[in-house]
Amino acid sequence: MTVKEYNQSVDSYSDNLFRFVLKNIKDEEKAKDIVQDTYVKFWEKRDNVDVNKIKSYLFTTAYHTLIDVVRRDKKQASFDVVKEENLTTNDGYTDLQEVLLAAIEQLPEDQKAVILLRDYEGYAYNEIAEITGMTESKVKVYIFRGRKFLKNYLGSVEAVL
């Protein structure tokens, strides 16, 4: 296919494609984008498209592109649709940082130290073992026990709040 034939197909079918897509999607800007994407795909495959089937190819490609856009838009929420009451709470005072620090204060000193080094500071197990002078397996046990305690403690606090 020559550039002249390609340009002729743009002149001949772009308005019809646009109207077809616009009737389905009801958004002028998206319809323009879909038509443009259709012609980009057509240009990339111009050598494989039969000259007698250009119109059919364009409408089929536009339809498939339209379906892809609609599916993608369904997955994305619109900012206009978000309900403000879902974004705020009026249940009273809850400072999670304060609750978490209170829970950590309940831990024995060794467990508190390894939990803070691991979860707050981001140290690896071997680094924590080196810092505290414990074995790496002891560090892992203390972290496991500390997290288990915190999970139970915070679960019971959540019921109270």
- Residue 139, pLDDT score: 94
Calpha distance 102→100 (Å, rounded): 5
pLDDT tens by residue, 69-106: 888 877 776 555 555 555 555 555 567 778 888 888 88
Calpha distance 141→145 (Å, rounded): 6
Query: E strands along the chain, which residues?
Result: none
Assign 136 a pLDDT band (cuts: 50, 70, 90): very high
Task: Give the DSSP letter of residue 87.
Answer: T
Higher-scoring residue by pLDDT: 75, 136: 136
| Residue 111 in this model has a pLDDT that exceeds 80 | yes
* CATH numbers and ranges of domains, the chain: 3-75 (1.10.1740), 96-160 (1.10.10.10)
- Residue 153, pLDDT score: 84
Calpha distance 65→37 (Å, rounded): 8
| Residue 50 in this model has a pLDDT that exceeds 60 | yes
- Residue 161, pLDDT score: 52
Beta carbons of 52 and 1 less than 8 angstroms apart? no
pLDDT tens by residue, 10-49: 888 888 888 888 887 878 898 899 889 988 898 888 888 8
- Residue 86, pLDDT score: 56
- Residue 160, pLDDT score: 52
Q: What is the reported pTM?
A: 0.47
Task: Give the DSSP letter of residue 51.
Answer: G
Calpha distance 128→122 (Å, rounded): 10
| Residue 123 in this model has a pLDDT that exceeds 60 | yes
Task: Give the DSSP letter of residue 107.
Answer: S
